[in-house]
Structures are given as structure tokens and as C-alpha cells.
Amino acid sequence: MINKSILQSVISKYYLNVCESVKWKTENNNLIIDFMSPTADIIGKVTCKDFPLEDSELAIYDTKKLSSLISICNGDLLLELEKQHKLISKLKISDLNFNLTYAVSDPLLVPKVGTVNIPEYTVNLNLTRENIDNLIKAKSALQGIDNMLITTTTNLDGENVCEFVFGDEHGHNNKITYQISGDITEEDMKIPYNSDTFKTIMNANKDMEEGTMKISSMGLIEFKFSNEEVSSEYYMVRKAETDF
């Protein structure tokens, strides 16, 4: 059995409103899901401990549909596999009231996930729940604007800080700046990102107990989040075109 909220948390962390097709790989009660966005601007992995399913590989082609099925359930869920000629054909989900069936797909229909060359990071930040909430608030206050600039500078005490600038930096346009201190080895770095994508990752992980964020001078961001049951990691590329 697995609680509905944990299963929904796992799905939200890889789905990100765009990653529909993935493979669920279960081994020794550990679930591993590698994923990549359709535009390849995000690559990541979600893992879940004590996942109550036999060793298997499920091709989930339509995550949104699966999520809709799970949403009508309550409490603890029983997960079972239905097979035809030793091939997995369906994922069965049940609670005290509902019995649901989700048809799994051909694994060949699921796109392959790319690899990431890990660079040397020049910015290392610890993300608290307060940081995550504040970053979400900052982006939410500027709806319709997908510009975000991450810069490194010093604060009034001469400490190295990382600034998240939401909105347009130039002119008289609206702008919000949020600072986080950390281990920063490169000053005057300025890299543009898509704030909608950034917010989606923050939203999906606001239930996590701890998180880290690392940035390379080339623009690659690495996020890692974890709690007792679930861990997630993401690699997000910089914005190719920018108004900054």
C-alpha cells in the first residue's frame, strides 16, 4: 500500500505539466523514474523508497490521464499489475471504494532520456522551504512575464550572494529581486532563465524537507530535493533568447 499523497507527489515531480511519457522502473521496492521535457530543457530523476510494486518496468505514456484516475481515490492505495503472456498490460489501482485500471504502453513509445555532462559549479546554495515559498511568490507576482536573471554579487555586508531577478531588468518595467547567500566563487555572473519553468520545479518540490541548487558559469542549474520517502533531481538549461 502507498498513500495517495505520496504517489501524487512522485508524479508531480516528474510531470511538471509537460513530461507525459516516462518509464516507471521498480527494483527491490525502489521506484526510479528518469524523465526529459519535450524541448530537452529539463532532464531529471525521481526516486521513491518502499514503493509497493513487484520488480517491473512500466511504460506510462499519458501521465495526465493516470494522474486524473488517481485523483478520485482516497487514503492508502493498492497497486497491482495485470499481465498477458508475461507482458505487463495494466496497472491496477484500488482503495476502499474504487477499482481503477490504467493501460500501460509499449516501452518503445517512450522517448529516450538524454544524458548530462556534469560541469564545475560556481554557485552552491541551500534551499529552505522559506526560500522556495518566497521564490514562488516572487514569480507569481509577475504573471505573464517569463524572464528571470540569476546574478552573483555582494550584499551590504560584503558577503557573496545570488540574486534572482524576476521581470525586465531595463527601463521602467516591474521587477522583483530576491537574495540567497551561499558558496559562490564567481562574481558578476549574469545568466537568463525561463521563470515559468523555474517556478514549476519549485512548486513540485515545495513539500520537500531540504534542497540544494548549483549553477555553472555556462548556465546549467542542478536542483536536488529530498524528504523521507522521495528524492528528486533536475538539470535545467539557461534561456537561449532573452530580453535582458
- Domains 2-109 and 121-236 agree in fold: yes
**Nearest in space to 8 (alpha carbons), one of 93, 71, 51:** 71
Report whether pLDDT(244) > 80.
no
pTM for the complete prediction? 0.93
User: What's the grid cell of residue 101?
Assistant: 485500471
Q: Which CATH number fits domain 121-236: 3.40.50.261, 3.10.150.10, 3.40.1190.20, 3.40.630.10?
A: 3.10.150.10
**CATH class of the 2-109 domain in this structure:** alpha beta
Domain boundaries, the chain: 2-109, 121-236
Instruction: Give the pLDDT band (50/70/90) at residue 194.
Output: very high
Q: What is the pLDDT of residues 101-145, one digit of tens each?
A: 999 999 999 999 999 999 999 999 999 999 999 999 999 998 888
pLDDT in the model for residue 96:
95
Which pLDDT band holds residue 241 (cuts at 50, 70, 90)?
A: low
For residues 53 and 81, the answer to whether their CB atoms sit within 8 Å is: yes
DSSP string of 31-79, one letter each residue = EEEEEE-TTSSEEEEEEESS--S-SEEEEES-HHHHHHHHHT--SEEEE
